């Protein structure tokens, strides 16, 4: 029977059968899991270590803040596991649990007051235990734990330390950790045998070449990868692992961001061809043809340029977000800064508002696309009758923009993001970057200058600047007044 153990299917808890405190525990990775295998980074359903999986349940002991009971279930049936978890929870809460059935009893760190009253011998024992935990960790296991930390695995991250991270941010880190493992294998290293301390300058040199020569990443992407791996080591060092961070001293590549904005001519040409349905056919690499035409994409592009907001914000704007004064004059659109709100874990509770000024151009657009029909309603400003989900509309706008802009054959590769950069650049040129920041709500001008403001646009805006124009006009005005006074005296005589 032993030779069939590897054929045992991995355990998995479907979203519809989640039960508080019930997890799949892997004795290979030594961690809890729900959807993602920490060893492969793929779906848990495809985990190769199904024979090492068990169902585990964790229940807090009533009246004891820092104590909980853990029980391992022998069953591999999720319905039976849920049934046993319910019974186990009831036993613990009623204080009738059988201690012989408890596989593990986990206690959190004792309070500072209790630690201070411990004897010297107990403190020494605790120090010895900490030192044992700091023995060299396998690199692959350290990566799995770090990914669990990013996903806020309850066995790794206590509730008060939970930090909500963007899904794409986590996926990018997972992808680059995977690239590091691939690089190790290509160069003859076994990542299952390497420890964190085994990563040296020679290995990093191999990874450096792999990033630049095989992945062909830009300088900015190179810096991002190295920063992510620096953070990976910092996490384990902060957790008490005694080691140096080999990525900390890696020199970063120089980055001169080329901030591209769309020109007036390109913008007008794009709005013209994006209305042509016959040009919407886009051949994918798989050979499949996808239609990138939608009548409301033109509105999305105009809204993007005239509001300067991100596409995910534009697709969520509603007609009742438009504010007017008592006379009906347009004032502003109250939008939501989803990016900052997510970073601060305020997307649902207290999202950051952005007040978009309604210029004459934006006013004309709003009137044209249905303000009188939808004003005050809970309908979306963009494509109010579209049945497509908003997150899909978000992605469709970006793809459609790139597809149609490519047809202009300008020799440049602009994306939908360029509209926001164009707005901020033009606004900064018109009223100064410090004043523009009050509208864009950036935390400082440095981010704007590095990532949004096109210096060519600022230079173009200043082309009519005259060094002494104000002084010259003042002297001419004074001379004109003198002449007028002399003429008045002549007439009186």
For residues 456 and 440, what is the distance between their CA atoms, to the nearest angstrom? 20
Buried b (16+ CB within 10 A) or exposed e, 429-455: beeebeebbebbebeebeebbeebbbe
pLDDT in tens, 391-448: 899 999 999 999 999 999 999 999 999 999 999 999 888 888 888 888 887 877 777 7
Q: Which residues fall within 8 angstroms of residue 432, CB to CB, at 6 or more apart?
A: none
Cα 271 to its chain centre, rounded Å, is 30
Q: How much is the mean pLDDT over the chain?
A: 82
The residue count of the chain comes to 493
C-alpha dihedral sign at 486, 488, 489, 493: positive
pLDDT given at position 89: 86
**Are 443 and 291 contacting, i.e. CB atoms less than 8 angstroms apart?**
no
Residue with tokens 């890696």: 250
pLDDT given at position 492: 54
Q: What is 122-169 written as a DSSP string? A: HHHHHHHHHHHHTSPPBHHHHHHHHHHHHTT-TTTS-GGG-----HHH
pLDDT given at position 119: 36
Confidence band, pLDDT 50/70/90 cuts, at residue 490: low
Residue with tokens 């040199």: 205
CA dihedral 69, 72, 75, 76 (to 10 degrees): 110
Instruction: Classify residue 415 by burial, with Cβ atoms within 10 Å: 0-12, 13-18, 19+.
Output: middle
HEC string of 175-188? HHHHHHHHHHHHCC
Is the overall model pTM greater than 0.75, yes or no? Answer: no
Considering only residues 238 and 39, tell me which one the structure prediction assigns the higher pLDDT: 238
Instruction: Classify residue 306 by burial, with Cβ atoms within 10 Å: 0-12, 13-18, 19+.
Output: buried
Confidence band, pLDDT 50/70/90 cuts, at residue 107: very low
For residues 145 and 233, what is the distance between their CA atoms, to the nearest angstrom? 12
Beta-carbon count within 10 A of 244 CB: 11
CA of 45: how far to CAs of 8, 76, 383, in Å? 11, 14, 38
Instruction: Classify residue 76 by burial, with Cβ atoms within 10 Å: 0-12, 13-18, 19+.
Output: middle
Q: Is the pLDDT of residue 493 over 80?
A: no
Buried b (16+ CB within 10 A) or exposed e, 90-100: ebbeeeebeee
Q: Is the pLDDT of residue 139 over 60?
A: yes
pLDDT given at position 127: 38
pLDDT in tens, 205-252: 999 999 999 999 988 899 999 999 999 999 999 988 877 899 988 998
For residues 102 and 92, what is the distance between their CA atoms, to the nearest angstrom? 10
pLDDT in tens, 279-288: 999 888 788 8
């Amino acid at each position: 029977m032993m030779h069939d153990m590897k054929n045992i299917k991995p355990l998995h808890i479907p979203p519809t059968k989640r039960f508080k405190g019930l997890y799949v525990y892997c004795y290979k990775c030594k961690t809890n899991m729900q959807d993602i295998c920490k060893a492969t980074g793929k779906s848990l359903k495809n985990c190769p270590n199904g024979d090492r999986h068990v169902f585990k349940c964790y229940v807090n002991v009533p009246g004891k803040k820092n104590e909980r009971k853990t029980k391992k279930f022998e069953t591999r049936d999720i319905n039976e596991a849920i049934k046993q978890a319910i019974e186990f929870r009831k036993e613990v809460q009623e204080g009738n649990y059988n201690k012989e059935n408890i596989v593990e009893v986990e206690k959190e760190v004792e309070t500072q007051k209790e630690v201070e009253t411990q004897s010297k011998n107990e403190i020494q024992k605790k120090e010895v235990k900490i030192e044992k935990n700091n023995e060299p960790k396998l690199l692959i296991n350290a990566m799995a734990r770090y990914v669990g930390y990013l996903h806020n695995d309850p066995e790794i991250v206590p509730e008060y330390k939970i930090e909500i991270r963007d899904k794409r941010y986590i996926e990018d880190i997972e992808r680059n950790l995977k690239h590091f493992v691939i690089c190790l294998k290509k160069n003859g290293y076994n990542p299952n045998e390497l420890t964190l301390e085994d990563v040296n300058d020679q290995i990093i040199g191999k990874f450096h070449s792999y990033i630049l020569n095989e992945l062909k990443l830009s300088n900015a992407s190179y810096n991002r990868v190295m920063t992510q791996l620096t953070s990976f080591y910092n996490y384990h060092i902060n957790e008490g692992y005694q080691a140096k961070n080999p990525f900390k001293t890696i020199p970063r590549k120089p980055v001169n961001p080329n901030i591209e904005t769309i020109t007036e001519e390109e913008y007008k040409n794009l709005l013209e061809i994006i209305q042509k349905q016959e040009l919407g056919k886009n051949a994918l690499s798989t050979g499949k043809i996808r239609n990138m035409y939608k009548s409301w994409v033109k509105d999305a592009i105009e809204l993007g340029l005239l509001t300067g907001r991100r596409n995910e914000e534009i697709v969520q704007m509603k007609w009742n977000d438009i504010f007017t004064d008592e006379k009906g004059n347009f004032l502003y659109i109250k939008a939501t800064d989803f990016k900052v709100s997510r970073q601060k874990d305020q997307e649902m509770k207290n999202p950051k508002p952005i007040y978009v000024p309604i210029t004459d151009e934006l006013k004309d657009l709003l009137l044209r696309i249905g303000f009188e029909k939808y004003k005050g309603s809970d309908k979306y400003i963009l494509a109010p009758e579209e049945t497509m989900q908003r997150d899909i509309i978000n992605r469709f706008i970006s793809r459609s923009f790139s597809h149609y802009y490519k047809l202009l054959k300008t020799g440049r590769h602009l994306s939908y993001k360029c509209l926001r950069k164009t707005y901020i650049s033009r606004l900064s040129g018109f009223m100064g970057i410090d004043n523009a920041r009050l509208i864009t709500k950036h935390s400082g001008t440095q981010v704007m200058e590095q990532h949004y403001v096109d210096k060519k646009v600022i230079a173009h805006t200043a082309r009519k600047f005259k060094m002494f124009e104000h002084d010259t006009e003042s002297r001419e005005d004074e001379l004109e007044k003198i002449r007028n006074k002399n003429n008045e005296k002549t007439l009186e005589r």
